[in-house]
Amino acid sequence: MIVAVANLKGGTGKTTTAVYLAHFLSAVVVDADPQGSAVGWVEAAAEVGGILGVEVVHLPDSKLASRLPKVERLVIDCSPRDHRITDAAIEAADLVVIPTGTTSADMDRTWATLDLAKQLGTPAAVLLVKVRVGTRSLAAAAEALAEEHATVLEARIPQREALAVAWGQPLTSDPYGYDLAAQQIKELLHA
């Protein structure tokens, strides 16, 4: 199973999502972002004296398909900028998970990412993150995605201060809904 976590917009929650999903999928993270945020997370966690609990390898490479670790489950953390690497990751994946906030600015790049996955022939599922229950932007995003018949994971990841400061720390015991998201991904992929 290869899951690419991608969004053409920066800062949407890709790295956070890749690490948490890998934890709940028992997958290895392939950090395909030249900025190396996922690798840096592991290193920073080790420095504070903890372990992240997820294995991460750095592979910011447009030819990554032939160089992926030979393990059963991989989650690829994509760059928002390096399109050649992101295209390669999406092409190598069985599923693209697109974490997105719910505002119009967030959704604009989400549509573009859905189009990219379609062009490259890989199924995609949107994961709503940084969700604030009861907001107009959440209702509008959910309605627009339904109108477009986009696949949307039922799990919704809330806006949480603990996730805002999660980078560089060992994972906390709260799954924040990523356990459910992982379960739904397994069901989508019959894995």
Ligand X SMILES: Nc1ncnc2c1ncn2[C@@H]1O[C@H](COP(=O)(O)OP(=O)(O)OP(=O)(O)O)[C@@H](O)[C@H]1O
Sites of contact with ligand X (CB under 6 A): 10-16, 33, 37, 80, 129-130, 157, 159-160, 163-164, 166-167
By a kind-dependent CB cut-off of 5 to 8 A, residue 166 interacts, out of Mg ion, ligand X, none, with ligand X
In sequence order, what are the beta bridge partners of 2?
74
Q: Is 14 in the site for Mg ion (CB under 5 A)?
A: yes
Q: Which is nearer to ligand X, 29 or 157 (CB)?
A: 157
Provide CB contacts within 8 A for 175, sequence distance 6+.
Answer: 20, 24
Amino acid identity for residue 55 in this structure: E
Task: Name the E strands within the chain.
Answer: 2-5, 28-31, 56-58, 74-77, 95-100, 124-131, 152-158
By a kind-dependent CB cut-off of 5 to 8 A, residue 86 interacts, out of Mg ion, ligand X, none, with none
Nearest CA-CA partner of 167 in 61, 11, 24: 11
By a kind-dependent CB cut-off of 5 to 8 A, residue 159 interacts, out of Mg ion, ligand X, none, with ligand X
Q: Which stretch binds Mg ion (CB under 5 A): 15-23, 44-52, 127-135, 168-176?
A: 15-23
Q: Which stretch binds Mg ion (CB under 5 A): 8-16, 46-54, 118-126, 154-162?
A: 8-16
Neighbours of 72 (CB within 10 A): 11
Question: Which residues make up the interface to Mg ion (CB under 5 A)?
Answer: 14-15, 37
